[in-house]
Copies of this chain bind each other. A is one copy, B any other.
Amino acid sequence: MEKPQTRIQQRNQAAILSAGLNIFSQYGFRGSTLDQIAEAAGLSKPNLLYYFPSKEAIHSALLARLLDTWLDPLKAMDETGDPITEIMGYAQRKLALSRDYPRESRLFANEVLQGAPHIAEVLATDLKILVDEKAAIIRAWSEAGKVADVDPHHLIFSIWAMTQHYADFDVQVRAVLGDREPYDGASVFLDALYQRLLQP
């Protein structure tokens, strides 16, 4: 289905998406301008619109690419593995995502903050289905006495909240920590937190 791409197309589309990610993740959709993105991508505005038909199109492409990878860590949580290891592994993978892809995290945060106008449906269908499925697994684990009996949905929310916080509120975290690096301490803390919470 993909059309063949010239090298120039690949390079410019990549540059536009990267620039768009920088801008959109900082200012949100409405707060970002094509001129900003074009300049960040090193292209003229008409040239940018030669590769993407509209501002919306760039944003949609970014969101689509994001959602694909964003849910992977949760999908990877394995029913047959050791429960506590699986949950803690998920939390650590999600934290690594915040550390390595903070812009994507902020893009997502901006979208949801603004009421998720572009992805409300995905949240209510795909995401909900995935979460309900994994929540059922966790529930089964607690009923088998393998992890503590806590609400699985709120457990998952807590992992999202804690990990995304380090990407989305990066400025605040760093302002408070001074020059200490955030992620090492976060990783240790997460470990202790869920170790203690989940022990049956």
- Quick check: is A189 within 8 A (CB to CB) of the other chain? yes
- Extra contacts, 7 of them, besides A31-B114, A151-B185, A158-B165 (Cβ < 8 A), are A27-B30, A28-B110, A30-B31, A123-B175, A150-B192, A157-B165, A162-B162
Q: Given A27-B28, A193-B158, A185 and B106 touching (CB < 8 A)?
A: no
Query: How far is it, in angstroms, between the C-alpha of A168 and the C-alpha of B112 when the chains are bound?
Result: 8
- Quick check: is A71 within 8 A (CB to CB) of the other chain? no
A52: chain B residues at CB < 8 Å are none
A113: min CB distance to chain B, Å:
6
Please state if A150 and B197 are interface contacts (CB–CB under 8 Å): no
Query: How far is it, in angstroms, between the C-alpha of A161 and the C-alpha of B166 when the chains are bound?
Result: 9
Query: How far is it, in angstroms, between the C-alpha of A175 and the C-alpha of B116 when the chains are bound?
Result: 10
The answer, among B112, B114, B162, for a CB contact under 8 Å with A158, is: B162
- Which A residues contact B (CB, under 8 angstroms)? 26-32, 106, 109-110, 112-116, 120, 123-124, 127-128, 131-132, 148, 150-151, 153-155, 157-158, 160-162, 164-166, 168-169, 171-173, 175-178, 185-186, 188-189, 192-193, 196-197, 199
A189: chain B residues at CB < 8 Å are 150-151, 154-155, 158
A74: min CB distance to chain B, Å:
11
A105: min CB distance to chain B, Å:
10
Please state if B30 and A176 are interface contacts (CB–CB under 8 Å): no
The answer, among B116, B155, B157, B172, for a CB contact under 8 Å with A171, is: B116
Smallest CB gap from A178: residue in B: B128
